[in-house]
Structure 1
Amino acid sequence: MQLFRKRKKKKLDELFDAFYYEADYTSNNLEFLVDLVAHFRPEKKEKNQPPVSIQPLLDYLQENAVKRYAMSVYLRNVFQNRKFTSILTDSGIIRDAYFIREVRERLASKILPEQPEPDTLQFLLNQVFYKQKDFEWIQEISILEINELIVLLDLDTIYDNEEDSSNSAITEIVSGISLLIQRISGRALEQDVLIMVPEYENVQSPFESFEKKLDVIITKIVRQRNFSVSGTDPDYLDLVELLKGCHQIINTAFDNSAKFGISLRVNQSLLRIRQQLFRIDALLPLLAIDSDEDKRDNSIYLTIKLIKYNCRKNNIRRLMLDSTQTIAYEVTQHTAKTGEHYITESKKEYMHMLLTAMGGGLIVGFLCLFKVVLGKAGVSDFGHAFLYSMNYAFGFILIYLLGFTLATKQPAMTAAAIVKSIEGGLSDSVNDADRHRSFAILFSHLFRSQFIAFVGNVFVAFPVALVLIWSLQGVVGFQIVNQHKSDVLLTDLNPIESWAILHAAIAGVFLFLSGIISGSISNKIKHKKIYNRIKEHPILKISLGKEGAKSFATWIEAKWAGVASNFWFGVFLGSTASIGIFLGLNLDIRHITFAAGNMALGLFGGDFHSGWYPILMGILGIGMIGFVNFIVSFALSLWLALRSRDIPLSEVKYLFHSVWLYFRHKPISFFFPVKNS
């Protein structure tokens, strides 16, 4: 049985015959309007598809005067006295300062749409234009055709209801603007918004000034027969300027997020105000007309806008993009600053990276052995997850605090630094070749930094793990890594016989998430003014002294984001396998540095009698694991950074084309520092 039947499109003559002969065209029944819109609605939007034309409808109405009159009467009855203020003030505008709640409500409304009262315009639009993309083909219809339809049907404009001003469309528009500015004024005075714009602390609020000037305009409009003012009216022009001032405050607040940080809740509040201001931007021109043509054009403009607002009221994708852009910018702003330290240019920096990576490899060698020992603990899978997580977490924190380098932590931190350079290039007045060449050079610096970090990590982790297992086994007197464990460790590195590549990709995702956590915490520390809170804490000043409290505050501001991100990175790595066991899925992680240490343990456990095949596959696996770690974490971080700077993804192919050209020209610079590279 077919659950959802597809409604068959009717021909125009069939549709009008049923409408005229079988239905009461003086009623408010929406069936005819639903069928008429369905007749013109495209089955599927294709590329290069011509815009929808209503010329067949115009021709039919030209030839059928009786049905033309019937349709005119019908449309007047259907649209008469329908309220639409709520569409102007609410549809498509964030309703809640809490992002998750807003997403949940929109998702619920998508599945089971809200149905307003039947006498409202929103109810009509819900029934007739019920597809989310209906506004796209509607706004492509020729304005000339729409104008001809209005003339044929002798339809009123939004300015023509002279008998009852309380039910006029202009009254709805004015009410909508008034309600929007009142909501904005209230939200803009909240403390979490005010702290973002200290520059306006002693300045009269432009929102209040706009509200007062709007009252003046409303008084003028009520006195006019056509419910409007002239576009050159001084009060109207003042209103336009005041609206620009309102925008300036919100723009300043977003700009100040780099200085003060920003929380998701404050971001949502500012975004809601911005959306409301954009809505006023769209409605304000409707109050001013200078000719009869303006009346009709404005009426068409409002109709299309109402359809668009209603169709997009539950758009989750747009909400996600708008809500996360500023937060993403602030998160990547932190990683951009941190990432600059991971890109080597000179030989001195290159050698320093090698030394710090060797330090990281030294600690990872210990962590590999500790994990094998912890694996012998007689605890549950949850217990192993906890032990492994703490092993990784505190090891990574130690690497971070000692200033050592874990190779694959770099991409998550350096992607934003690269995009920052792209952003600078895009804003400079240089040709594409020069701009992209600069990116290629920077990328080569990053790649060789990553390469030497791999070398430092791997070539130290392997011998350290080998020496440690040999020493410990001599002390305890029994084999810590037996033949079975040896086979498991070596097989896990084989890219052909195991899921090593997938597990390396999972580790790459966690590397990306750790970068997000670092930037997010850094942003929160800045927004919550943690430095000043600690520095001026009365108990800390007594117990540590003023200088001690200041030093502690400085340390927290500089290091805490890194400590927290490394801790959670360790938790992610340590708990993945146990979660996989619980879910019955083959989940695990592979990281290049740990892979090198595990290979040493595996070879030792097999008394180095494993043969050449496991060794070759292990070496190949280590290289592929490192590449996947790098490419996944870098790609995700690059995507986030591009998103935060609103740089189109289409730019990426040109960027990497320039990288390829530069690699062909100077391949050695991608691995070693050379002059003029």
Structure 2
Amino acid sequence: MVPAEGPWDLSALLTSADADASLPERHLWLVRLLEWLRHAPLPQQQPMQAQTPTPLLRLRHLLNVLERHPQHEVQVRRVLRRFWEEVDTAALLADYGFSPRTSLLGELGQRLRLRVLPGTPDTRDLGELFTLLFPQERDAEWLEAIDPPTLQRLITLLTPKDHADAVNWKAPFLDAIMFLATSIRALGFSPMIRARMSRELLVAKPFRQLARVAEDIREHAENGNAEALLVSAQYLRALLDTCRRCALSVNDHLEEHGISVDLVFELDQLDRRTHRIEDLLNCVISNNPGTEVTRLLAQLVRTAGERRSLREPFTRHYSMLARKVAERSAETGEHYITRDRGAYARMLKAAAGGGAVLAGTTLMKFFVMALGLTAFWAGFWAGVNYAGSFVLIHLAHWTVATKQPAMTAPAMAEKLRDVSNDAAVEGFVDEVAHLIRSQSAGILGNLTVVAPLVLGVQLAANALFGRPLVGEASAEHVLDSLTLLGPTPFYAAFTGVLLFASSIIAGWVENWFVWHRLDSAIMWNPRIVSHLGRARAQRWAEFWRNNISGFTSNISLGLMLGIVPVVSAFFGLPLDVRHVTLSTGQIAAAAGALGTQVLHEPAFWWCVAAIPVTGVLNLSVSFLLAFRVALRSRGIRLRDRSRIYRAIRQRLWHKPLSFIVPPR
């Protein structure tokens, strides 16, 4: 086993150099030699430009020692010669940093194995050995710092003296170019990518020509035809640029027809392979190949660091998915932002309608709980009750206040395309003010209807039937569970997480719907058209295209509100939900059951005090989570985020009423 660091003595290392040792022992010797170079790395906070890196100083010392001791130099040269003869260098140049699989999950699995399973020096694949040779990403810094004289001395050491033909060192580079060209051609011909590329760009058939031009480059390099090599290299660069533009044209299809994470992953692999070929070309045709090879080696070291990260592929490949989810939610979210008094009044009316429906939802929940069902089925039917009510509100174009942030935060993120100037930031702060006013209207409309309506039904039932619909036992339970003195704030924040999750689920499902072109299938599928008729099939296709996101978010939210608490209880997790509108309705039902004497109970007022806290946490948590996704999808930097937050605080300090009162 090779330790990460070790006090290796250079004299002992040079003495132990043995070209006749077994392959793993020789590779282990190289690993230890590189460990000796980095034995005393610079502190993390010390800039590399301030002084010569310690590994570079040790490299110069090593070269000096070898020049002064020819017997050691001979042994080291023999070890290095056998190394270059036996390892597959092309595997490092062509495959390292690329996934052999075409899915993101497969790449994540491979990275997990690289982190968990130890490597072995008993391999001829230089790509596998590379991680042991350069385990630290900071190795790239001292590699790039190698000065030309030291680099020339190192090249002299690495190059066998009896290799008179300079083309020999180029062979693995030419092989790698050929392998990469074949891989790019295969990706370009894959059905999922080929069907979505621009037809105009494919007229020149760039993918088909890659392998042939790569063969031409090999032939010219082996024949020493420098002029023809430069011409073919220039043509290959043009083909690679066309291939990249073809890959970028796929994004236009994604904007219109949905997005697939695996497709984005394949496009990223294609793009990276084209750039790797250009780096290899630089090494082959450069007048100073040593510098280009060193630069490529440093890049491969950084790639090794990326390969050890499990977060990096998520951050990179899900950013586009997050942006599409944000944009799809934004299509609906724009309708939930009020910017003038007329829109504010319409929001109040829509919220009042939603409050009326949720009053019935509240009473129906008490009915479900009174059935005496087992915990799971009670939670399931409570979730069905919520989901049905939310869908009804959606179809009636009414509003559930706490669903606004998850839908409108992506809409606001659309305003963040350019935050490089103060005017753009101020425009975004205006959107924040519009949103908070909209939320205030939604909450006000919901609560001013749900509370009196539930209370009125309770009083009417008591007058007609001699007892309220919700009894005193249930009312006492409500006052015990919804009090501010209990875990209500935590549960309200958790409900905000569920609100956010429902919007993400909706974005995924809508993307899936669009990706598989189900609206087109409903509209044109012969069997569906024969049953529905052409006109009805078109109406159904348009209906589902316009409502799939709304249905998904409302149904998923309703089911989560009902089922998550009972599933959590099964696993012993103390989780429950607190929705501001539903909680207000339950408190009103409790007041109707207990009568006016409830006004003298502190428990009642603690429940009333919990209502604004519940509303704020529902809204803020769901909004902040959704807004974080929107910011990440746009790649907003931390510095720009600080500017945005500072501008919001300044507006809140100088014009607090702008967040509550609509403009005239």
More helix by share: 2
SS in 2 for 1:199: coil
Q: Note the alpha carbon deviations across 1:177-206, whole angstroms, 9 max, x for none.
A: 222222222232233222322534861321
- Larger CA deviation: 584-593 vs 608-617: 608-617
Cα pair distance change 1:379/1:105, threshold 3 Å: farther
Cα deviation, residue 25, structure 1: 6.9
Cα deviation, residue 613, structure 1: 3.0
Q: Which amino acid aligns with 2:137?
A: F
Q: Of the candidates 126, 130, 143, which is equivalent to residue 125 of structure 1?
A: 130
Query: Do the aligned partners of 1:72 and 1:153 also contact (CA within 8 Å) in 2?
Result: no
Q: Of the candidates 329, 353, 356, which is equivalent to residue 350 of structure 2?
A: 356
Cα deviation, residue 503, structure 1: 1.3
Q: Which amino acid aligns with 2:196?
A: M
Structure 2 distance, partners of 1:353, 1:488, is: 33
Q: Of the candidates 367, 375, 383, which is equivalent to residue 377 of structure 2?
A: 383
Matching of residue 136 in structure 1 with residue 138 in structure 2: yes
Matching of residue 255 in structure 1 with residue 255 in structure 2: no
Aligned twin of 1:530? 518
SS in 1 for 2:533: helix
- Larger CA deviation: 563-572 vs 320-329: 320-329
Aligned twin of 2:276? 279
Aligned twin of 2:439? 450
Matching of residue 402 in structure 1 with residue 399 in structure 2: no
Q: Note the alpha carbon deviations across 1:202-245, whole angstroms, 9 max, x for none.
A: 61321112332222211101112xxx946992222121111111
Aligned twin of 1:267? 264
Matching of residue 593 in structure 1 with residue 574 in structure 2: no
Cα deviation, residue 246, structure 1: 0.6
Structure 1 distance, partners of 2:161, 2:138, is: 26
Cα pair distance change 1:116/1:454, threshold 3 Å: farther
Matching of residue 95 in structure 1 with residue 100 in structure 2: yes
Cα pair distance change 1:92/1:124, threshold 3 Å: closer
Please list, as runs of the form range in 1=range in 2, the aligned pairs for 1:209-608 lying within 5 A after superposition: 209-224=209-224, 229=226, 233-289=230-286, 291=287, 294-426=288-420, 432-472=421-461, 481-495=470-484, 497-608=485-596
Structure 2 distance, partners of 1:482, 1:5, is: 73
SS in 2 for 1:458: helix
Matching of residue 208 in structure 1 with residue 208 in structure 2: yes
Q: Which runs of 5+ in 1 are unaligned?
A: 427-431
Structure 2 distance, partners of 1:103, 1:223, is: 43
Query: Do the aligned partners of 2:323 and 2:630 also contact (CA within 8 Å) in 1?
Result: yes
Aligned twin of 2:195? 195
Structure 1 distance, partners of 2:76, 2:236, is: 37
Report how many aligned residue pairs link the two structures.
Answer: 652
Aligned twin of 1:429? none
Aligned twin of 2:61? 60
Structure 2 distance, partners of 1:5, 1:29, is: 13
Q: Note the alpha carbon deviations across 1:394-426, whole angstroms, 9 max, x for none.
A: 111111111011111111111111111111454
Query: Do the aligned partners of 2:143 and 2:294 also contact (CA within 8 Å) in 1?
Result: no
Query: Do the aligned partners of 2:419 and 2:640 also contact (CA within 8 Å) in 1?
Result: no
Cα pair distance change 1:78/1:313, threshold 3 Å: farther
SS in 1 for 2:281: helix
Aligned twin of 1:80? 84
Cα pair distance change 1:481/1:211, threshold 3 Å: same
Matching of residue 664 in structure 1 with residue 658 in structure 2: no
Cα pair distance change 1:526/1:597, threshold 3 Å: same
Cα deviation, residue 347, structure 1: 0.6
- Larger CA deviation: 255-264 vs 148-157: 148-157
Cα deviation, residue 545, structure 1: 2.5
Cα deviation, residue 41, structure 1: 5.5
Structure 2 distance, partners of 1:84, 1:152, is: 18
Query: Do the aligned partners of 2:387 and 2:557 also contact (CA within 8 Å) in 1?
Result: yes
SS in 1 for 2:54: coil
Structure 1 distance, partners of 2:590, 2:423, is: 49
Q: Note the alpha carbon deviations across 1:344-365, whole angstroms, 9 max, x for none.
A: 1111000000110111111111
Structure 1 distance, partners of 2:180, 2:3, is: 40
Q: Which amino acid aligns with 1:512?
A: F
Aligned twin of 2:179? 179
Q: Note the alpha carbon deviations across 1:79-137, whole angstroms, 9 max, x for none.
A: 3222132333333223333333432333233211565852232343233334xxx1234
Query: Do the aligned partners of 2:417 and 2:634 also contact (CA within 8 Å) in 1?
Result: yes
Aligned twin of 1:154? 156
Cα pair distance change 1:347/1:174, threshold 3 Å: same
Structure 2 distance, partners of 1:44, 1:56, is: 12
Percent of residue pairs bearing the same amino acid type? 24
Structure 1 distance, partners of 2:611, 2:148, is: 65
Query: Do the aligned partners of 1:71 and 1:153 also contact (CA within 8 Å) in 2?
Result: no
Cα pair distance change 1:55/1:308, threshold 3 Å: closer
Structure 2 distance, partners of 1:231, 1:359, is: 76
Q: Which amino acid aligns with 1:266?
A: L
Structure 2 distance, partners of 1:245, 1:153, is: 35
TM-score by length of 2: 0.90
Structure 2 distance, partners of 1:410, 1:120, is: 55
Cα pair distance change 1:75/1:665, threshold 3 Å: farther
Q: Of the candidates 644, 647, 671, which is equivalent to residue 633 of structure 2?
A: 644
Q: Which amino acid aligns with 1:466?
A: L
- Larger CA deviation: 364-373 vs 103-112: 103-112
SS in 1 for 2:296: helix
SS in 1 for 2:250: helix
Q: CA RMSD in A?
A: 3.0
Structure 2 distance, partners of 1:207, 1:158, is: 38
Q: Of the candidates 37, 43, 46, which is equivalent to residue 44 of structure 2?
A: 46
Query: Do the aligned partners of 2:458 and 2:589 also contact (CA within 8 Å) in 1?
Result: yes
Structure 2 distance, partners of 1:487, 1:368, is: 16
Cα deviation, residue 247, structure 1: 0.5
TM-score by length of 1: 0.88
Q: Which runs of 5+ in 2 are unaligned?
A: none
Structure 1 distance, partners of 2:439, 2:155, is: 70
Cα deviation, residue 566, structure 1: 0.9
Structure 2 distance, partners of 1:233, 1:5, is: 44
Q: Note the alpha carbon deviations across 1:620-669, whole angstroms, 9 max, x for none.
A: 32111111111211111112112222222432211121112222332211
Query: Do the aligned partners of 1:53 and 1:142 also contact (CA within 8 Å) in 2?
Result: no
Cα pair distance change 1:84/1:603, threshold 3 Å: farther
Query: Do the aligned partners of 1:94 and 1:102 also contact (CA within 8 Å) in 2?
Result: yes
Q: Of the candidates 650, 653, 660, which is equivalent to residue 642 of structure 2?
A: 653
Structure 2 distance, partners of 1:159, 1:269, is: 43
Q: Which amino acid aligns with 1:243?
A: L
- Larger CA deviation: 41-50 vs 389-398: 41-50
